[in-house]
């Protein structure tokens, strides 16, 4: 019964989407798919253009080499250069090193002979509102070197609604040494001390709204990295971003809102001795943390959420994920033109546990 209700509710929701794909097209009839995601997060932004079909695998679409693209920022043409990532007859990449700023109005148009013209627009949103963040810890009985870290983010509501995201980044460095055995004499000896560094994102265990956060805000969802980072061809696959939205008027302008989430973290500095039977070793770890905050345009938020739902929503559970991925704000084709801004805190080192 629950699933029947979900299907009915989802069909009503899909009817309100900005555009639905027509899956009744003839085999071989292709559609132009475009992507342009301006932000302040990258030195280079890509305009991606390719031919696609409503159903994956229906046909092998061909993208002509005679396509033309144009992007305007606040009414002024933007210089684009063909990028080496391009695949002849399949996918075209155009790159720009333009620095986008909040409030920029972006318009993108592409014309593909024999297929048509597609267009879309978006506005680069303002940065994440003024905020403070606090950290508290709860010991984990099963571990002496890790704990549960709770992060509270208090931000000033601008009153006009918004689409937000947050990720907690972790940097760690490690010095370690292990025993080894001489293959000729069989004697054990200590190997060289090695040094490693790594930066990645912590996957939140939970994310919740405090009582001060209006119930009109949507439940936060996790955007997996292949969905968030794919559009800008980022190679860092460690990022996990939590996204949520506030409706205009859900709280008075200037009021304080709070988002809380938790994640397992490690004490710093931490010394660990290893005993693996025949061999022993040790390692010294040091950790730092950074908060990365996002604000999305409505089109990009809707696109990210649609991609998430296509793999992890109720449609996906029922094997109907292709039918749920329908969002696009591209006129005459498919894809998305959306924007976001990113704001990062300084790296912080947590004080040792008392």
How much is the average pLDDT of 77-106? 85
- 108 & 244 share domain: no
Report in angstroms the alpha-carbon separations of 3 from 194, 316, 321. Answer: 54, 12, 14
DSSP-derived secondary structure for 33-63: EEEE--BSS-S-EEEEEEEE-SSTTS-----
Q: Are residues 200 and 335 in the same domain?
A: no
pLDDT at 132: 92
**352 within a domain of the structure (yes/no):** no
User: Do residues 193 and 223 share a domain?
Assistant: yes
pLDDT of residue 106: 97
What percent of the chain has a predicted confidence (pLDDT) above 90?
31
pLDDT band at 209 (very low <50, low <70, confident <90, very high): very low
- E strands within 309-348? 334-337, 340-344
Do residues 124 and 297 lie in contact, with contact meaning Cβ atoms separated by under 8 Å? yes
State the Cα–Cα distance between residues 70 and 306, nearest whole angstrom.
Answer: 27
Q: CB–CB of 291/236 below 8 Å?
A: no
pLDDT confidence of 287, banded at 50, 70, 90? very high
Give the Cα separation of 238 and 301 in Å (integer): 20
- E strand intervals along 124-269: 131-139, 146-156, 162-181, 188-190, 194-202, 206-209, 221-223, 241-246, 256-266
Least confident range from 62-71, 159-168, 181-190, 195-204: namely 62-71
**Inside any domain, residue 349:** no
| Res 334: pLDDT | 85
What CATH code is carried by the domain that includes residue 17? 2.60.40.10
- The answer to whether residues 42 and 98 belong to one domain is yes
Span 5-43, pLDDT tens digits: 444 444 444 444 444 444 444 444 567 888 899 998 888
Q: What is the pLDDT of residue 15?
A: 42
* 249 shares its domain with 282: yes
Domain limits for position 51: 2-125+298-342
Supply the pLDDT for residue 221. 56
Sign, CA dihedral 250-251-252-257, equals: negative
Q: Is 166 domain-assigned?
A: yes
Which has the higher per-residue pLDDT, 82 or 15? 82
User: What domain count does the chain have?
Assistant: 2
Residue 191 falls inside a structural domain:
yes
Mean pLDDT in residue range 207-216: 41
pLDDT in tens, 114-137: 778 899 999 999 999 999 998 888
Class of residue 326 by CB neighbours under 10 A (exposed 0-12, middle 13-18, buried 19+): buried
135 and 347 Cβ atoms separated by less than 8 Å: no
Mean pLDDT across the stretch 275-297?
92
Assess contact for 110 and 229: CB atoms under 8 A: no
Residues 65 and 149 both lie in one domain: no
Peptide bond into 144 cis (omega under 30): no
The pLDDT assigned to 9 comes to: 45
Residues 156 and 284 in one domain: yes
* Distance in angstroms (rounded) separating the CA atoms of residues 323 and 56: 12
For the chain, the maximum distance between any two Cα atoms, rounded to a whole number of angstroms, is 76
Report the pLDDT value the prediction gives residue 224, as an integer from 0 to 100: 47
Condensed to tens digits (0 to 9), the pLDDT of residues 175-205 reads: 999 999 999 999 999 999 999 999 888 876 6
Do the beta carbons of residue 152 and residue 133 sit within 8 Å?
yes
Residues 153 and 281 in one domain: yes
- Give dist(CA 18, CA 147) in Å, integer: 44
Q: Are residues 79 and 222 in the same domain?
A: no
Residue 223 and residue 319 in one domain: no
In the predicted model, what is the mean pLDDT of residues 144-158? 84
Considering the chain, what percentage of its residues have pLDDT values greater than 70? 69
- What pLDDT is stored for residue 73 in this prediction? 97
- What does the mean pLDDT of the chain come to? 76
- Residue at 308 is within a domain: yes
Answer yes or no: is 200 within a domain. Answer: yes
Flag whether 351 is in a domain: no
My answer on whether 153 and 261 are in the same domain is: yes
Asked if pLDDT for residue 285 goes beyond 60, the answer is: yes
Is residue 11 a part of any domain in this protein? yes
Q: How confident is the model at residue 103 (pLDDT cuts 50, 70, 90)?
A: very high
Distance CA 348, CA 354 (A): 18
Answer whether residue 319 shows pLDDT above 50: yes
Question: What is the separation, in whole angstroms, between the first and last Cα of the chain?
Answer: 52
Query: 104 and 154 share a domain?
Result: no
149: confidence class by pLDDT, cuts 50, 70, 90:
confident
């Amino acid at each position: 019964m629950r699933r029947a209700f979900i299907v009915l509710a989802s069909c009503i929701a899909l009817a309100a989407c900005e555009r639905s794909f027509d899956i009744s097209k003839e085999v071989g009839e292709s559609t132009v798919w475009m992507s342009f995601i301006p932000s302040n997060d990258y030195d280079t932004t890509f305009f991606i253009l390719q031919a696609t079909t409503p159903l994956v695998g229906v046909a092998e679409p061909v993208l002509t080499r005679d396509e033309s693209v144009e992007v305007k920022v606040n009414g002024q043409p933007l210089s684009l250069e063909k990028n080496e990532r391009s695949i002849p007859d399949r996918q075209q990449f155009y790159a720009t090193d333009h620095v986008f700023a909040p409030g920029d109005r972006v318009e993108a148009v592409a014309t593909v002979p024999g297929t048509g013209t597609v267009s879309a627009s978006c506005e680069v949103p303002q940065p994440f509102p003024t905020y403070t963040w606090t950290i508290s810890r709860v010991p984990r009985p099963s571990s002496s070197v890790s704990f549960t870290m709770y992060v509270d983010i208090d931000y000033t509501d601008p009153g006009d609604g918004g689409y937000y995201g947050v990720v907690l980044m972790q940097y760690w460095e490690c010095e370690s040494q292990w025993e080894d055995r001489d293959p000729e004499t069989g004697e054990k000896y200590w190997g060289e001390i090695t040094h490693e560094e790594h930066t990645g994102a912590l996957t939140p265990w939970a994310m919740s709204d405090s009582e001060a956060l209006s119930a009109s805000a949507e439940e936060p969802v996790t955007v997996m990295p292949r969905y968030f980072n794919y559009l800008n061809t980022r190679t860092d696959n460690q990022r996990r971003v939590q996204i949520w939205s506030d409706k205009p008027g859900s709280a008075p302008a200037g009021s304080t809102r709070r988002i809380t989430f938790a994640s397992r973290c490690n004490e710093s500095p931490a010394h660990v001795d290893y005993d693996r039977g025949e061999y022993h070793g040790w390692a010294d770890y040091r950790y730092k943390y950074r908060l990365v905050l996002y604000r999305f345009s409505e089109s990009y938020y809707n696109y990210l959420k649609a991609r998430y739902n296509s793999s992890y929503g109720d449609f996906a559970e029922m094997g109907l994920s292709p039918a749920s991925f329908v969002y696009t704000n591209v006129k005459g084709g498919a894809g998305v033109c959306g924007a976001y801004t990113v704001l990062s805190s300084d790296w912080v080192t947590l004080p040792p546990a008392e």
